Structure 1
Amino acid sequence: DVLSMLLADWTALVAVLTKKAELVGSDEDRALAWRRVGECKRDMLEDKPGAIEAFEHALELDPASAWTIDALIRLYEGRDAGDRLVELYQRRVELSEGEGEEHLKYEMLVKAAERYQRDIKDNQAAIDVLRQALDVRGADKAVLSKLEALFRAEQMWPDLLETLRQEASVAEDKDDRAKLRREIGKLLAKEMAEPTEALEAFRMVLDEAPEDGESIEAVREIGEGFEDLRLEAADILEPVLRATGKYDKLVAVMEMRLMAQQDGAERALTLRSMATVLHESLSDPGRALEALLRALSETPEDTGLHEDIERLAGTCDGYAKYADALGERAGKIFEAALATDLWSRLGRVCEDKLGDDKRAVEAFTRALDQSGDEPGLLASLDRLHGKLGNTRELGEILERRVLVETSPDAQADLYHRLAVLQIESFGDKMLGLETLRQALDHAPAHQKACETLEKLTEERSLFEEAASALEVVYRARGDFASLASLYEKRVSFADAPMDRLRLRIDLARVLEDQAADPKRAQRVIEAALGDDVADGEVLTKLEELAGANQQWTEAAKALSDALEKA
């Protein structure tokens, strides 16, 4: 043995050691001899198969020799010997009991897994030893990554899920963590059919990576595919899409939210939010208006909504659409107050914004049917029928307005307008006269009613009726000059001399006693001489007035002229 080593005769040394291994008594010494044979063949003779055979003999004799196992592992790792290697790796793990050998134990288990997977094609065995590796070095990224691949290959979805969660929990890089959680979400959504848990996974991704388009799309697909999860999906996506400025997608998600909402108020709120995005963020007032008009069908009673619609309609020429929406919604409402409001709004839009007075009349009429004789609606119809020349309809509205008006002056105005309509449009002057009387009953000083009555006194057939009304008014307000003019007109209509005489005497009294105009009274009495120069009352009154006015000459001349004519 010693001589062979001194002479570097390695073949002789191998022969000596082999013979020695056969002759020595103890297993320990024999194992040592075989180890020396293995070393010599491996290191000096480059006989690896022979070295393996020698080390295998040594291992049989001393199974607990870690040194021998390590030597065999190094030799086998260069050969296609997966089955034997995994046995050696496992035995080496079993011998690695000290705390200082944890790394070696971990390394052996990982190598065993690679051999099971690559050489032996036994994924389940690979999984088992990798799990042992995790027991040695908990949550190791490399091991978890290998297990992830194996679980995918074996379609072991619950185990894959747990592994991905472990990987995510130890991932330090934000992007890596987001990627792992996205994989968790995809696994839950598809292979494991757990969409609710998948949403939570994607939520965690988007909390850290709001720009992650794949997760955004995955959440949207879940929302569209599962009716009961649409609201939750929308809750996840809306803040993310707002923050990242993806407004077109935000609008689409709001539409998805609408599909799940049943309450009208909630739907209206979503549609109004959608309109805000369309108008302010996408600069699309037309689509924004459409969204608000859809909200109108949900909450037609919302005055703030109507204000927003009108404001937006003014920016995109949308009043016609607003009018159509009002008409459609109002026609389906059975609550009188709300129907009145909608028809009224339609009337105002048609009149003020569209210039469609006929349609405005129809709308206000429908509103009136719901509300009864509401003053504001009657006033609107009054104005519109006047513009359109609908005299019959205007007359009816004026009659209804009078009944609900509380101010005497306003009632008088309405009666006067009605009277003018009756006189000029209907040709019914007598009816108009009676209406004017009603105007003066409410407001005796109503100037326009008086002026219209005064015009009627120009007609002989209407004079007495008109004059009787005017006389009361003139006396009530002390307008004796007008009263005197009225008497003069009455005189002009008298045919018989005696009638004229009596009327002139009455006129003279008015002028003298009430109008304080004795000279004009004298002129009237002088004219009365032409009717009957011998009437004692006339002569007495003439003498009285001539003395009071010191106009004897004028009286004498009038009397002389009357006598000549007589």
Structure 2
Amino acid sequence: EAIGQLKESYEKRRDWESLVRIRQRAAKLMDEADRLFEYVEIAQLATQRLRKPDICIELWQSVLEEDPDNHEALESLSQLYERARDWEPLAKVLDKRVEQIADENELKQALQKLGMIYADKIGDDEGAVRAFQRLLTLDPDDRRAQEQLKRRYVSLKAWDELESFYASTEKWDELIRTLEREAEGKDTTDEERTELLFRAAKLWIEQKDKPERAARAYEKILSKDENNLDAALALSPIYEEAGDARKLVSVYEVRLKHAQEPTERVHLLRESGLLYEEKLRKPKEAFDAFLEAFKTDPTQEIIREDVARLAEATNGWDEGIAAYREAIEGATDPDVATDLRLQLGRLLAQVEKIDEAIEQYRAVYDARGDNLEAIEALETLYRQTEKYRELLDIYERRMELEEDPEVRRQLAYGRASLWESELANANNAIDAYQRILDEWGDDESDAYAALDRLYEAEERWADLASTLERRIDLGPESTEELAALKFRLANVAADHLTEAERALELYREVLMLVPEHDGARQRLESFLDTEGLGTHAATILEPIYEMQGQWQPLIRALEVLAAGAGDPP
């Protein structure tokens, strides 16, 4: 009752502020169902009569506490906040209002207003984005909303959203320009700059198919961060496709700083080496790359070939040899150590460090007595250095290992020749050639020829005669060869074995084979004056002279025959 009287009193006196306060007190005592209606009336009264924004705002807020979606309260508050330039509360109210607006044009205006308040008055880019995004769902062609949305995305550094926005219009050039411009901004951090340039480069490739423009972006990244692995990886295929060896090598160097796996390091080092060697014509740099690859993995044959090739081109033998020695020392696999020693031996031999080469091959031979490469290399080097005793050992070992009969045969001849020539041991040489005949048979004419030579040099006439007889029995291929063998046998018989009669008969056989054989004829003539042999010699010579029309020699032969006619038989 007291409140009612006060209300009447204040209303008559037009004391609106007091009336508002007393009605507020009264409203709090009302039932919940009536309270909202009373709050609305109080707020309306204050708005119409008081003209005091703070009180009006407070009253309309009370309405919203009872009814958060009250349309009249939201409408009134939006006007009050706008007049008071209180932007944040205004934005909150407008956020609720736009959910209630049914008219599309009115809604677009409200969203435009809300977006601009967030953007220009509050600086809340996220709020602005929400407003302009919704506006564009209503009107995709709203250019002002488009521009505002792009700006807000940039301000928020919402690059994924910005790209999605441009994707709808495929304005890739504009997006790339935006990203590149932001990358060069004075307030842009190095990390942000790198991200923006990566995005721009990706767009150049995927949307514009211009890898050369992407390369510029990646190069800008490397200009600030020279060890950026992602940029180097991205540039590699671009430079490969463009055939730009100089730049490709530079990004390989960046990648090598990060590469930990030996396989990757070897690949990059070898590719760098090939570029230096074949494209850039820088053999020293190529050699350094190949050598580093070898140190990383000395097991790869192709890397060893690279090192050997460039060591020769750059005179880098000492470095290469040192690397091999280090690799051998560090090798835990015996097979790997063997391969490395063989290759090192080849390098040392190539630079004429023969004793050191022998040392490497000998180490292999001592560990692996069946290693043919080491054996063959030692054979060459021992012969070159005149280490014939060691060479003889190699021949023996090779013959033990060799399964090919023809190769074994050649080795046997080599061994025999070594005894004969270099070691000058006739007896061992004879034994070696005889072993050839024992194993490969009588067809080995070279062995027989060597035995002939050795027996004659050693004056082993009986052995020489036996050898000649065996060769005659085997049947030489030509009449001339047979005649030559018989002639030699006749000479041995006549000069060294005191078998003159046999010699005369052999000379006769020679002349039967080759009537014009001057040697046999002359030897027979030397016997014409020999007592007991002259008649035999003349008997052989007579038909020869007669056939050849040699009358003077014939007369002499006849005289010998006549003189010997009275000799006792």
TM-score bracket, shorter-length normalisation: 0.5 to 0.7
**Aligned counterpart for 1:430 among listed residues 420, 427, 430:** 427
How far has the Cα of 1:70 moved from its partner?
A: 9.5
**Aligned counterpart for 2:285 among listed residues 284, 287, 297:** 287
How far has the Cα of 1:255 moved from its partner?
A: 1.0
Q: Deviations over 1:194-217 (max 9, x none)?
A: x9x999979846746442245558
Summarize the Cα distance change of 1:99–1:313 in structure 2 as closer, same or farther, 3 Å threshold. same
How far has the Cα of 1:545 moved from its partner?
A: 5.0
- 1:485 matches 2:488: yes
Q: Deviations over 1:476-528 (max 9, x none)?
A: 3363433433443454446xxxxx3xx11221222234663786675476576
Contact kept in structure 1, 2:176 and 2:203, CA below 8 Å: no
Contact kept in structure 1, 2:78 and 2:93, CA below 8 Å: no
The 1-side partners of 2:405 and 2:483 are apart by 25
Question: Which residue pairs with 2:271 in the alignment?
Answer: 273
Question: Which residue pairs with 1:457 in the alignment?
Answer: 456
- 1:99 matches 2:126: no
**Aligned counterpart for 2:560 among listed residues 526, 531, 554:** 554
Summarize the Cα distance change of 1:318–1:137 in structure 2 as closer, same or farther, 3 Å threshold. farther
Contact kept in structure 1, 2:430 and 2:454, CA below 8 Å: no
Question: Which residue pairs with 2:175 in the alignment?
Answer: 174
Mapping of residues 381-392 of structure 1, within 5 Å: 381-392=378-389
Contact kept in structure 2, 1:457 and 1:466, CA below 8 Å: yes
Mapping of residues 23-34 of structure 1, within 5 Å: none
**TM-score, normalised to structure 1's length?**
0.60
Contact kept in structure 2, 1:205 and 1:215, CA below 8 Å: no
Q: Deviations over 1:279-336 (max 9, x none)?
A: 4555433333343344446666655555555555554445555555555546626464
The one-letter amino acid of 1:386's match is: R
Mapping of residues 190-209 of structure 1, within 5 Å: 204=202, 207=205, 209=214
Question: Which residue pairs with 1:156 in the alignment?
Answer: none
Aligned to 1:389, what secondary structure does the other structure show?
Answer: coil
CA RMSD of superposed structures (Å): 5.6
In structure 1, the gaps of 5 or more residues are 1-18, 35-52, 118-125, 150-159, 224-231, 495-499
The one-letter amino acid of 2:273's match is: A
How far has the Cα of 1:28 moved from its partner?
A: 13
Question: Which residue pairs with 1:227 in the alignment?
Answer: none
Q: Deviations over 1:522-553 (max 9, x none)?
A: 54765763xxx6xxxx6885686588777242
Mapping of residues 256-267 of structure 1, within 5 Å: 256=257, 258-259=259-260, 261=261, 264=263, 267=265
Question: Which residue pairs with 1:152 in the alignment?
Answer: none
The 1-side partners of 2:327 and 2:75 are apart by 92
Summarize the Cα distance change of 1:60–1:513 in structure 2 as closer, same or farther, 3 Å threshold. closer
Contact kept in structure 2, 1:343 and 1:364, CA below 8 Å: yes
Aligned to 2:428, what secondary structure does the other structure show?
Answer: helix
Mapping of residues 112-511 of structure 1, within 5 Å: 114-116=120-122, 126=124, 129-130=127-128, 133-134=131-132, 136-137=134-135, 142=148, 145=151, 163-171=158-166, 172=171, 173-176=174-177, 178=179, 204=202, 207=205, 209-213=214-218, 215=221, 235-236=233-234, 238-240=236-238, 242=240, 245=244, 246-256=247-257, 258-259=259-260, 261=261, 264=263, 267-280=265-278, 282-296=280-294, 302-306=300-304, 308-313=306-311, 315-318=313-316, 321-326=319-324, 328-329=326-327, 332=331, 334=333, 336=335, 342-351=340-349, 353-369=350-366, 372-373=369-370, 378-403=375-400, 414-439=411-436, 442=440, 444=443, 446-447=445-446, 450=449, 453-454=452-453, 456-460=455-459, 462-476=460-474, 477=476, 479-489=482-492, 491-493=494-496, 500=498, 503-511=499-507
Contact kept in structure 1, 2:57 and 2:80, CA below 8 Å: no
How far has the Cα of 1:428 moved from its partner?
A: 2.5
Which of 338-347 and 479-488 deviates more?
A: 338-347
The 2-side partners of 1:28 and 1:182 are apart by 53
The 1-side partners of 2:564 and 2:291 are apart by 87
Summarize the Cα distance change of 1:298–1:555 in structure 2 as closer, same or farther, 3 Å threshold. farther
Q: Deviations over 1:83-127 (max 9, x none)?
A: 4x555566677667343232344334533664446xxxxxxxx46
How far has the Cα of 1:383 moved from its partner?
A: 2.8
The 1-side partners of 2:377 and 2:43 are apart by 120
Summarize the Cα distance change of 1:552–1:440 in structure 2 as closer, same or farther, 3 Å threshold. farther
Contact kept in structure 2, 1:382 and 1:398, CA below 8 Å: yes
How far has the Cα of 1:358 moved from its partner?
A: 3.3
The 2-side partners of 1:465 and 1:166 are apart by 107
The one-letter amino acid of 1:111's match is: I
Summarize the Cα distance change of 1:545–1:515 in structure 2 as closer, same or farther, 3 Å threshold. closer
The one-letter amino acid of 2:117's match is: K
Query: How many residues in Structure 1 have an aligned counterpart in Structure 2?
Result: 462
Summarize the Cα distance change of 1:445–1:73 in structure 2 as closer, same or farther, 3 Å threshold. closer
Aligned to 2:259, what secondary structure does the other structure show?
Answer: helix
The one-letter amino acid of 1:504's match is: A
Question: Which residue pairs with 1:3 in the alignment?
Answer: none
The 2-side partners of 1:406 and 1:92 are apart by 100
The 2-side partners of 1:295 and 1:554 are apart by 93
Question: Which residue pairs with 1:14 in the alignment?
Answer: none
The 2-side partners of 1:61 and 1:345 are apart by 95
Which of 266-275 and 140-149 deviates more?
A: 140-149
The one-letter amino acid of 1:254's match is: R
**TM-score, normalised to structure 2's length?**
0.60
Question: Which residue pairs with 2:33 in the alignment?
Answer: none
In structure 2, the gaps of 5 or more residues are 1-13, 18-40, 61-71, 137-144, 207-213, 545-553
Percent identity (aligned) = 18
The 2-side partners of 1:254 and 1:67 are apart by 63
The one-letter amino acid of 1:479's match is: L
Which of 326-335 and 97-106 deviates more?
A: 326-335
Aligned to 1:137, what secondary structure does the other structure show?
Answer: helix
Mapping of residues 522-537 of structure 1, within 5 Å: 522-523=524-525, 526=528, 529=531
